Every structure is written in C-alpha cells, then in structure tokens.
C-alpha cells in the first residue's frame, strides 16, 4: 500500500468519522490492513506533534487589539454552542434543549487568532455547559488548563 493511500485512509476516517468496515469497503482493503495502517499513521502524527502543533502564547499586556486587551496572560477563550442535529426518535428527549430544539452541546476553545485549539462535540443538548466543561477538563487527553 502506498504512503499516499495510507494517509488518504487516515484523513478520510478522521474527516468523516467512519468505522474500519466502511473504509475497508471504500478502499478495497482488508480490515486488518486498514487498522494496521491507520495506527501506523497515527503514531507518525503523534511523533511529529512538536512540529505539527503550535504551543499557544499568552496575550501580552501591550496588546493593541480591543477584543483581547482585558484578557492579559490568557491563552484564549472558550464557549459552548448548540448545533442542530438529527437523532433517532428514542434519543430526542436527551438532545432537546431548554428552548425545544434538537441539538448537540459543543464546547469550543479558540486562541487570539480565532483558530480553534480544542473542540469537544457529542454532548446532548440538555447537558449543562458546566458539565461539559468539567468533562473536558477531567478527560485524560482533554482540555489542559495551565496553573497560575
């Protein structure tokens, strides 16, 4: 299997949140090949994380952007939002928001350049923002909040 095909399968799986069996039939490969090469690509990406991911820098005291002036020493901002979704009828009660729509509660964190640095989707619309934030902070690979 070529490197291009391995990377294409990896990115396609992540971008479309697909399972091994779907990728297997789409790329005409065995499930074992798909799984093995997905993990090989994932390990390569993790080894390159220092080159692929930027370390955030805090907002300085001499910041001239009005939007961020009052957030000195902060790394960014976070907020939750509700995104409309289609769910099976038996799950609708859990995803119903206090305003009656069917939605997913999503936590997003962005840096001063308005680039997302953390996104946690998947919570039902009835979940409180504090519960979603607590879950993001307590996950082993979740949102890391610097001390101090």
**pLDDT, tens only, 103-126:** 888 888 888 878 888 888 878 888
Question: How much is the pLDDT for 6?
Answer: 92
**pLDDT, tens only, 28-86:** 999 899 999 999 999 998 898 888 777 777 888 888 888 777 888 887 778 888 888 88
Cβ contacts of 109 within 8 Å, gap of 6 or more? 76, 77, 78, 116, 117, 118, 119, 143
pTM beyond 0.75, yes or no = no
Contact indicator for 14, 43 with CB cutoff of 8 Å: no
Where do the domains of the chain lie?
Answer: 3-52, 69-138
Cα 29 to its chain centre, rounded Å, is: 28
Edge to edge, what strands does the sheet with 77-84 contain? 77-84, 103-110, 116-124
């Amino acid at each position: 299997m070529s490197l291009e095909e391995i990377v294409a399968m990896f990115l396609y799986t992540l971008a479309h949140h697909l399972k091994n069996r779907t990728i297997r039939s789409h790329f005409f490969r065995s499930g074992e090949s798909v799984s093995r090469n997905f993990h090989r690509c994932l390990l390569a990406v993790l080894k390159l994380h220092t080159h692929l991911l930027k370390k955030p820098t805090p907002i300085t005291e001499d910041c001239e952007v009005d939007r961020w002036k009052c957030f000195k020493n902060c790394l960014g901002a976070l907020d939750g939002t509700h995104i409309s979704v289609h769910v099976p009828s038996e799950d609708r009660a859990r995803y119903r928001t206090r305003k009656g729509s069917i939605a997913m509660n999503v936590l997003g964190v962005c840096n001063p350049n308005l680039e997302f640095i953390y996104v946690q989707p998947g919570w039902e619309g009835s979940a409180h923002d504090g519960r979603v934030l607590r879950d993001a902070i307590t996950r082993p690979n979740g949102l890391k909040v610097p001390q101090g």
